């Protein structure tokens, strides 16, 4: 962690991919971002539905003796099962990773530059700094949900119930899909491909907000989407400060790993008291503040 020392942080080069002022209207097309997002979303839904239908049909055959006995209740039960949730997560991370890698490989720009995967000094350590902020966002979100009487609701509640006290095999699969797969696939698309492309047309901050909005939208229910949007803004801003998506890859994987461990070890039926939620709210806000203050030192010099 020496990279984080005040005197040891080397100045980073200017960020040329995201000018503060938008480029000329004719210079870059942005519809490709939304088209790629639509393709990835459609691919995720189609693949997930096909896998869940096959699993539900297999279960119906085992119970009823016929593939034709698949019911809506059986399908929804499969969707909420650990296998169903992980299958859906696998579909999403593969779909978004491919929809970033394929356009990047077809671009006349260098692949590394197209997805902003360039090496920057201390990118791994800065990733852990960003992860602290992300965990703070999650803690603030959980505390607010508890205070509003909404704890355990939404897709995060479903995931928590499915992954509580997992078997070793399920824990390994969840780590591979929820932590590594989602962290890498989502960062390559939202911060690597989408934000970079939008910044070439709209400028830095509009691209951060737009890519964060898409990131929130893909997470489904309003509760999870709100948290994802806030996390997306932090990740997008961190990629501007450090000049590389490698930082947010580390942060996303680390955050998801910590969240997965918490889900595995914490009873989903447990509810914090209002006092405990208030303490968590203050602690989460402090984590966000510390992370953002540290990140200010990573800001590249103006071009």
Residue 54 pLDDT: 74
Residue 176 pLDDT: 97
**Per-domain residue ranges of the chain:** 2-298
What is the DSSP code string of 52-74? HHHHHHHHHHHHHS-GGG--HHH
**Within a 10 A sphere around the Cβ of 300, how many other Cβ atoms?**
16
- Phi, psi for residue 10 in degrees, rounded to 5: -75, 145
Residue 8 pLDDT: 47
Q: What span, in angstroms and rounded, lies between the C-alpha atoms of 130 and 249? A: 10
CA dihedral 221, 222, 226, 231 (to 10 degrees): 10
CA dihedral 119, 12, 258, 260 (to 10 degrees): -50
Residue whose tokens read 């899909």: 177
Instruction: Provide CB contacts within 8 A for 17, sequence distance 6+.
Output: 113, 116, 196, 199, 200
Residue 60 pLDDT: 60
Stated pTM of the model: 0.86
* C-beta separation of 186 from 215 below 8 A: yes
* C-beta separation of 67 from 57 below 8 A: yes
For the chain (length 303 residues), average pLDDT per consecutive 10? 43 40 57 95 89 70 52 68 87 95 84 89 94 97 93 88 94 96 97 94 94 93 90 96 94 97 94 94 97 82 42
Q: In angstroms, what CA-CA distances link 252 with 64, 184, 245, 259? A: 42, 8, 10, 11
Candidates 199, 210, 2; CA nearest to 115 is 199
Residue 21 pLDDT: 43
DSSP secondary structure code for residue 219 in this structure:
T
Question: Rg of the Cα trace of the chain?
Answer: 20
């Amino acid at each position: 962690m020496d990279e984080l020392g005040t005197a040891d942080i080397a100045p980073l080069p200017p960020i040329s991919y995201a000018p503060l002022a938008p480029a000329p209207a004719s210079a870059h097309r942005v519809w490709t971002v939304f088209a790629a997002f639509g393709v990835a979303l459609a691919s995720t839904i189609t693949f997930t539905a096909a896998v869940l239908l096959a699993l539900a049909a297999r279960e119906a055959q085992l119970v009823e003796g016929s593939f034709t006995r698949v019911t809506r209740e059986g399908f929804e039960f499969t969707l909420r099962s650990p296998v169903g949730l992980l299958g859906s997560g696998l579909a999403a991370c593969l779909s978004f990773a491919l929809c970033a890698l394929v356009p990047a490989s077809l671009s006349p720009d260098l692949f590394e530059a197209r997805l902003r995967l360039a090496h920057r000094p201390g990118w791994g350590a800065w990733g852990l700094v960003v992860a602290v902020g992300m965990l703070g966002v999650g803690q603030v979100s959980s505390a607010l949900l508890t205070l509003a009487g909404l704890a355990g609701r939404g897709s995060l509640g479903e995931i928590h119930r499915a992954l509580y006290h997992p078997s070793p095999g399920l824990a390994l699969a969840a780590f591979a899909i929820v932590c590594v797969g989602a962290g890498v696939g989502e960062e390559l698309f939202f911060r690597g491909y989408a934000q970079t492309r939008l910044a070439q047309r709209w400028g830095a901050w509009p691209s951060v907000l737009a890519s964060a909005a898409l990131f929130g939208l893909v997470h489904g229910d309003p509760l999870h989407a709100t948290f994802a949007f806030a996390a997306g803004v932090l990740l997008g801003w961190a990629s501007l400060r450090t000049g590389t998506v490698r930082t947010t890859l580390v942060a996303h994987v680390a955050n998801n790993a910590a969240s997965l461990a918490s889900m595995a070890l914490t009873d989903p039926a447990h509810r914090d008291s209002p006092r405990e939620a208030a303490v968590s709210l203050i602690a989460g806000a402090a984590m966000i503040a510390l992370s953002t203050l540290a990140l200010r030192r990573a800001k590249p010099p103006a071009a």
